[in-house]
Amino acid sequence: MRRWLRLFRPQDFVWVLLFAGLLISLKFLPPPVVDTDPGQGDPQEIIPLAALGIAQILEPRFPARATTRSRVFWVVLKIVLGFIFIGFTGSINSPYSMVLLLPVVSAATTFGLRGTLAFIVLASVCYLYFFLHLHGEEVQAHHLLPVIFLAMIGTLANILAEQLRIQSEKHRRTAEQLGAANVQIREAQEAVTRSDRLAALGQLSAGLAHELRNPLGTIKASSEMLNHNISAENEIAREVAGFISSEVDRANSLITRFLQFARPLQLQLATADLSQTIDRAIALVEREASGIAIYRNYAPELAPFPFDAELMERVFYNLVLNAVQATAPGGAVTVKTRAAVGTAEAAVIDRGAGIDSKHLETIFNPFFTTKPEGVGLGLAIVSKIVDEHGGKITVESDLGKGSVFRVLLPMERVAKTQAATPALPA
């Protein structure tokens, strides 16, 4: 049953009933002409009617119907079949003259007003053709009724169809606007959630850092005193004291990063050249990029615009450094810029190890890292700096093929004062 419901649409059953009724009427109702044997249903009458019914049912199933030429073909075909059927069933006296409404209504629901009027005229001309075989005294007023009905019903159907098309277009636009609004709301909710999470983690980091620095200072001072008071002959004790001092320095460096992440600063917005800012970041990375080539592909049409050059230099330092670290010796990293509508885009591209797809959603979260010695604050700070510029950072990556980090920055000056994040960890 379900299979048949998929093959036939509800309107198909209506068409089947309509044309079945017409065929039955041909078989059993008295014909309007006297030279036809009643009740015989001449095949020359049945064939065009059956063809018209088949055309009416099959027309929507042809993919080519979407073209204007195909729609014109189907309407003309149905007009021709209706004309033939009327001619075989009594011409001007045929009780089936209204079958010409089928192609006219099809045209009214498919074409505009001009197209509808053109097919109304064509169907009317086909019907009026039968008047050529009548004498003046045989023409009666009711013979003109089909022409009047064709014009009236075709025009009204076109008006209603046009109103439905307008409403459908409004609904489509409304659905698109609602979809876009939902996306914006979801992005805003994600941004708020992310901001709250960053703020909470920042406060936690600041509290922990403050509590840890005092005992670390004591440990550092004690290790230095031990180092000064241990005899030169006790090399093991001196080495252990040195280890303690260096590890304390490392812990202090880590605490400094936590504090930098937690401490908001004001953006120092000034008109600057993004390409020059990236160049300064690359110059710092090149000292550590032994055997890795860094290519620049800057858009010359990218004009200077307001941003915090110091913070953005640290953003690109971190991104380029990560790309270099992910690239095998002898490989290359490319930095591209381009100007979009109201937006400056910079992309850092590498062909390194890539990032697992399951990590792409969390890669910008604080303390998330895949590096054995990583802290997980680098990309979190990068994301925060870009966010506070009113921009956006995205990542595309294929495991084993490399990654592309894109930074999108608004080129118009930020309207409100926003907090920025200090230096990225090296």
| pTM listed for this prediction | 0.47
Q: Is 133 helix (H, G, I), strand (E, B) or coil?
A: helix
Q: What is the pLDDT of residue 37?
A: 44
**Token digits of residue 251:** 């812990």
Greatest mean pLDDT among 2-6, 40-44, 242-246, 258-262 lies in 242-246
* pLDDT tens profile 13-23: 777 888 888 88
**Token digits of residue 298:** 């800057």
Q: How far is CA 376 from CA 152, 362, 426, in A?
A: 74, 11, 12
Give me the amino acid identity at 225: M
In angstroms, the CA 156 to CA 106 distance is 12
Q: Residues 189-203: what's their mean pLDDT? A: 73
Greatest mean pLDDT among 51-55, 153-157, 360-364, 371-375 lies in 153-157
Q: Residues 202-219: what's their mean pLDDT? A: 74
Q: For the stretch 392-418, what's the b/e string if a residue is b when 16 or more beta carbons lie within 10 angstroms of its beta carbon?
A: bbebebeeeebbbbbbbbbbeebeeeb
Q: What is the pLDDT of residue 53?
A: 84
In angstroms, the CA 124 to CA 79 distance is 10
In angstroms, the CA 34 to CA 11 distance is 36
Window from 121-135, 345-359, 412-426 with minimum mean pLDDT: 412-426
Q: What CATH number is given for 265-420 in this structure?
A: 3.30.565.10
**Token digits of residue 168:** 């459908």
Residue 321 sits at the vertex; the CA angle it makes with 337 and 312, to the nearest 5 degrees, is 50
In angstroms, the CA 104 to CA 78 distance is 9
Q: Residues 115-121: what's their mean pLDDT? A: 92
Task: Please report the DSSP string for 213-230 in residue order.
Answer: HHHHHHHHHHHHHHHHHS
In angstroms, the CA 392 to CA 345 distance is 10
Asked whether the predicted pLDDT for residue 415 surpasses 50, the reply is no
Q: Domain spans of the chain? A: 2-139, 193-262, 265-420
Confidence of residue 263 (pLDDT cuts 50, 70, 90): low
Backbone angles phi, psi at 236, to 5 degrees: -65, -45
Name the average pLDDT for the chain.
80
In angstroms, the CA 320 to CA 250 distance is 23
Task: Give kind and range of the element (H or E) at residue 402.
Answer: strand 402-410
Which option is the CATH number for 193-262: 1.20.1080.10, 1.10.287.130, 3.20.20.330, 2.40.50.500?
Answer: 1.10.287.130
